[in-house]
Amino acid sequence: MVAMHYLRTIPLLATVAQFLAATAESTVQRTSASRDNDDTPLPVVIWHGLGDTYAAEGIQQVGELIQAVNPGTFVYFVRLDDSAENDRRATFYGNVTEQLARVCADLAAHPILSTAPAIDAVGFSQGGQFLRGYVERCNAPPVRNLVTFGSQHNGIVDYRACESRDWLCRGAMALLHGNTWTSFVQSRLVPAQYFRDPADLDSYLEYSNFLADINNERALKNETYARHIATLENLVLYLFEDDTTVIPKETGWFEDVNGDEITPLRARKMYQEDWIGLRELDRKGGLKFKTTPGEHMQLSDKVLTDAFTEFFGPYKTAARDQDVVGEL
C-alpha cells in the first residue's frame, strides 16, 4: 500500500529565500512607482488536497513561492474552517456541494478578491476538481487561469491508502468501502462524491452527489457550467507520471479508463458534444495537458515556479506596455 504524500514535505524554503533576495529591489521599485496600474498581479486562490489543511507548512510555502515569482500577489488559502484541524477534517467529511457554496460565498465577500478584475487559481489533488466546480457553479470573482495538479477530474475507481496512525483518514475510508452509493456516504464522505467506476456508470449517474453533476454527465446539462469553463483563459492539467495514489492517474487529464482501455478526452463524448466547455476552451488554445515526474504531489519547486511564471501575474501584459509608453 502507498502512504499519503502531503505537500508539507516539499523543500521549498531555499528557493523562496533565493527569489526573495533576487527580487527584493525590483519589488520596492514596482510598488512605489505603480500602485494603481495593471502591473499588479492578479490574486491567487489555493485549494489544498485530501488530508491537508490551508495552514500546513507546504501549502503556505506554495503561497510564498507564488509571491516570490510575482511580487505583490495577494494569496488566499481556501479553508472550510479557520481551525486547521477542522479544515483538515472537512477534506474527508462533508457534502461537497455545501462546502463549495461556502467557498463561493467566502470568495464573493472577500474585500480584495471580490474587487479584482479576475483571480488565478491552483488546486492540489481534490482541490483541483473543487476549484473547477467553483468556476462552473459560481465564478464570481471570475477565474482567469486554473492550474490543477494530480486532480481527479474524471473521478477515481479506488480509494487511497492512509498512513497507519491517521485515524481520521482510516475512519473515513472504513465508512467508504462498500457503501459508496448510500445517501449517508454521498452526503458526508468527500472522496465518495468523486468516485466513478466506468464499469458501473448507472449507480454513479443516479447517486453521485458531485462529480456526475459538474461533469454534466446526466441527461439534463447545465449550460452555465460549459459557458463558465469556456471563459477561462487556460485550464492547465498536470499529471504525475508515477502517480500510484490516484487510481487511475489519467483522471488528471479527464481520460476515461475502463480496464485496459484508455479513452483520451478528445475522443470522449463529453468533449465532442462539449458538455462542460472543454472543446471550446481547447479551440482557443486554453486547454493544456502537462506531466511532471514523480509520485502523487511530489512537486519540485522548479515545476511550480514554471507554472506560476507562465500562468500567474499581471492581468494584461499589453496594458502594462501602454503604461510604459504613457510615462515616456
Ligand X SMILES: *[C@@H]1O[C@H](CO)[C@@H](O)[C@H](O)[C@H]1NC(C)=O
Residues of the shown chain interacting with ligand X in the complex, contacts defined by CB under 6 A: 95, 97-98, 137, 183, 186-187, 209, 222, 224
Amino acid at 216: N
Least Cα distance to 88 among 166, 180, 186 occurs for 166
Catalytic option among 48, 213, 296, 301: 296
CB of 218 to ligand X, least distance (A): 10
Choice between 60 and 186, CB closer to ligand X: 186
Are 323 and 37 in contact, with CB atoms under 8 Å apart?
Answer: yes
Q: How many C-beta atoms lie closer than 10 Å to residue 24's C-beta?
A: 10
> Does 153 qualify as catalytic in the annotation?
no
Choice between 98 and 241, CB closer to ligand X: 98
Choice between 56 and 192, CB closer to ligand X: 192
**Joined grid coordinates for residue 13:** 524554503
DSSP 8-state symbol, 314 = B
> Does 125 qualify as catalytic in the annotation?
yes
CB of 105 to ligand X, least distance (A): 13
CB of 296 to ligand X, least distance (A): 27
Beta bridge partners of 119: 143
Are 159 and 191 in contact, with CB atoms under 8 Å apart?
Answer: yes
Least Cα distance to 126 among 230, 211, 183 occurs for 211
Choice between 140 and 267, CB closer to ligand X: 140
Choice between 59 and 143, CB closer to ligand X: 143
Phi and psi dihedrals of 277, rounded to 5? 85, 5
**Joined grid coordinates for residue 306:** 514554471
CB of 51 to ligand X, least distance (A): 22
Rounded Cα distance, 275 and 230, in Å = 11
Catalytic option among 125, 213, 274, 301: 125
Catalytic option among 52, 87, 120, 243: 243
Measured over the CA atoms of residue 49, residue 55, residue 58 and residue 61, the dihedral's sign is positive
Choice between 102 and 290, CB closer to ligand X: 102
> Does 260 qualify as catalytic in the annotation?
no
Rounded Cα distance, 30 and 310, in Å = 20
Cβ neighbours of residue 208 closer than 8 Å, sequence gap 6 or more: 186, 193, 194, 195, 196
Are 143 and 232 in contact, with CB atoms under 8 Å apart?
Answer: yes
CB of 65 to ligand X, least distance (A): 32
CB of 280 to ligand X, least distance (A): 17
User: Which residue's CB comes closest to ligand X?
Assistant: 187
Q: Would you name the residues annotated as active-site residues?
A: 125, 243, 296
